[in-house]
Amino acid sequence: MDSIVVTGNGPLKGQIPIAGAKNACLTLMPATLLSEEPLTLTNAPRLSDIKTMSTLLQSLGAEVTQMQGGKVLALSSHALDNHVADYDIVRKMRASILVLGPMLARDGHAVVSLPGGCAIGARPVDLHLKALEAMGAELDLREGYVHAKAPGGLRGGTFEFPIVSVGATENALMAATLAKGTTVLKNAAREPEIVDLAHCLRRMGAQIEGEGTSTITIQGVDRLGGATHPVVPDRIELGTYMLAPAICGGEVECLGGRIDLVQAFCERLDAAGVSVEETEHGLKVSRQNGRVRAVDVITEPFPGFPTDLQAQMMALMCTAEGTSVLEERIFENRFMHAPELMRMGARIDVQGGTATVTGVEHLKGAPVMATDLRASVSLILAGLAAEGETVVNRVYHLDRGYESVEEKLGNVGAKIERISGQ
């Protein structure tokens, strides 16, 4: 099993290109199931999760071709010959549930295994199912699989999500594009990935209004066509690399970065004393004068502070001046990185969904264990600011969400290398 070794090496300087968004691409890929015509995605990230989704789509009979080194995905579902998403594939990644809505909408039946993914909380799929039931789907859960059918096709309906759910909004949005009549999704997620999906579906011929707000209205159409669509930049990768110069000093320009994708995050950085400025090519982040200030963080659905940047922000707060309180309101069990940071000398007290972090002047390098995707990179960030050598073990999580971490950080002056496992 691979490890990543990080040695504190002082301030960073240079440019880091931001890849297409993993969470957007994993949503866009199943959209191919809605049409018999080709869908081409540009600016795709090169990640293991993308390979897993490709394998899942291919198991259903779709064609997936990687071009330009994996940055362009050519997809076609003109000849689906299987409507069972098998456990052996689906268990590897929660986004696999997103094939349910498109298959059901197009062909009136689907069987999908309940998904897996990072162990950061229950994250049930009941909202996906309830939204599809509001469109007339008949669902039965048996032996770990969702058996779904809509013999006469899905019908337009109104569904209000009791809590905001990105994945359920995406599944319902895709299904509604081919439902008969009008579908209204209330208390819908507003994330940029939702907006990106709506833009792609509209290019395919869907009739959608209100994406980016809490109410999305979809007028069903008889069929969707093909399209070419660029994947939106990854706001979580963007925020992660913005934290690199914040945590160990220097100045880094994140190429392709946009303020609108990380507005709430940027507000917290500003309060901490980190400079963020827009440039012609992206966002420039710098920290020149001593330690950052401690700031409090509450994770919330977009446009609030992203839960997927909480672990990385905690790493920054470990060396901040003062005490910060980080409150996790999206997922339970998402402070599993805290004990690993404490191995490096961090002072963290976790009580339920709240972590209190008292900053120290210096972290110390240590062997640590990655527990999930975002925890992995938070430990790497901490290693950048630590004295001595930090060895991050079990980094297979990392490869699900970040491409070429060692190369991107190494190019701006970090001392980082991957050690291949036996």
Q: Quick one: average pLDDT of 127-135?
A: 95
Q: Quick one: average pLDDT of 320-338?
A: 91
What pLDDT was estimated at residue 348? 98
Dist CA 365 CA 344 (whole Å): 6
Q: Are 6 and 415 in contact (CB under 8 A)?
A: yes
Q: Which residues contact 212 (CB under 8 A, 6 or more apart)?
A: 190, 194, 195, 198
pLDDT band at 119 (very low <50, low <70, confident <90, very high): very low
φ, ψ of residue 133 in degrees (nearest 5): -65, -35
Give the Å distances, CA to CA, from 94 to 48, 124, 140, 170, 390. Answer: 13, 10, 19, 13, 30
Q: Quick one: average pLDDT of 313-322?
A: 97
Measured from the Cβ of residue 191, the count of other Cβ atoms closer than 10 Å reads 26
Q: What angle do CA 243, 168, 203 make, to 5 degrees?
A: 85
What pLDDT was estimated at residue 422? 58
330 is in an annotated binding site: yes
270 is in an annotated binding site: no
Q: Quick one: average pLDDT of 116-142?
A: 78
What pLDDT was estimated at residue 165? 92
Domain shared by 246 and 215, yes or no: no
Q: Which residues, in sequence order, are bridge partners of residue 13?
A: 251
Domain shared by 191 and 273, yes or no: no
Whether 122 has a pLDDT exceeding 60, the answer reads no
140 is in an annotated binding site: no
106 is in an annotated binding site: no
What pLDDT was estimated at residue 322? 98
What share of the chain has pLDDT > 70, as a percent?
98
Domain shared by 273 and 176, yes or no: no
Catalytic one of 25, 118, 254, 318? 118
Whether 57 has a pLDDT exceeding 70, the answer reads yes
Whether 121 has a pLDDT exceeding 60, the answer reads no
125 is in an annotated binding site: yes
Q: What angle do CA 335, 337, 343 make, to 5 degrees?
A: 130
Domain shared by 211 and 105, yes or no: yes
pLDDT tens per residue across span 235-256 = 999 999 999 999 999 999 999 9
CATH of the domain at 392: 3.65.10.10
What pLDDT was estimated at residue 371? 84
Q: Quick one: average pLDDT of 294-321?
A: 96
What pLDDT was estimated at residue 120? 34
pLDDT tens per residue across span 265-286 = 999 999 999 999 999 999 999 9
φ, ψ of residue 38 in degrees (nearest 5): -70, 145
Whether 140 has a pLDDT exceeding 50, the answer reads yes
Whether 116 has a pLDDT exceeding 90, the answer reads no
Place of tokens 């002056």: 413
Residue where a domain stops, chosen among 230, 256, 285? 230
Q: Quick one: average pLDDT of 136-162?
A: 94
Domain shared by 189 and 44, yes or no: yes
DSSP for 301-327, written as a single string? STTSB-GGGHHHHHHHHTTSBSEEEEE
Counting the structural domains of the chain, the total is 2
127 is in an annotated binding site: yes
Domain shared by 7 and 57, yes or no: no
Domain shared by 246 and 374, yes or no: yes
Domain shared by 163 and 148, yes or no: yes
Dist CA 379 CA 370 (whole Å): 7
Q: Quick one: average pLDDT of 353-373?
A: 94
Between strands 109-113 and 215-219, the pairing is unpaired
Query: Which domain does 199 fall in, by range?
Result: 22-230
Whether 365 has a pLDDT exceeding 50, the answer reads yes
Copy the structure tokens of residue 317: 């707060």
Domain shared by 264 and 164, yes or no: no
Q: Which residues, in sequence order, are bridge partners of residue 208?
A: 218
308 is in an annotated binding site: yes
pLDDT band at 92 (very low <50, low <70, confident <90, very high): confident
pLDDT tens per residue across span 398-419 = 888 898 999 999 999 999 999 9
Q: Which residues, in sequence order, are bridge partners of residue 285?
A: 252, 276
Average pLDDT over the chain, rounded to an integer: 94
Dist CA 2 CA 419 (whole Å): 6
pLDDT band at 124 (very low <50, low <70, confident <90, very high): low
Residue where a domain stops, chosen among 230, 264, 295? 230
Domain shared by 132 and 216, yes or no: yes
Residue where a domain stops, chosen among 201, 230, 259? 230
Q: Are 190 and 216 in contact (CB under 8 A)?
A: no
What pLDDT was estimated at residue 174? 98
What pLDDT was estimated at residue 332? 75
Domain shared by 226 and 267, yes or no: no
What pLDDT was estimated at residue 118? 39
Copy the structure tokens of residue 167: 């994945």
Domain shared by 244 and 151, yes or no: no
Q: Are 99 and 27 in contact (CB under 8 A)?
A: no
289 is in an annotated binding site: no
Tell me whether residue 254 is one of the annotated catalytic residues. Answer: no
Between strands 227-230 and 39-42, the pairing is parallel
pLDDT tens per residue across span 184-220 = 999 999 999 999 999 999 999 999 999 999 999 999 9
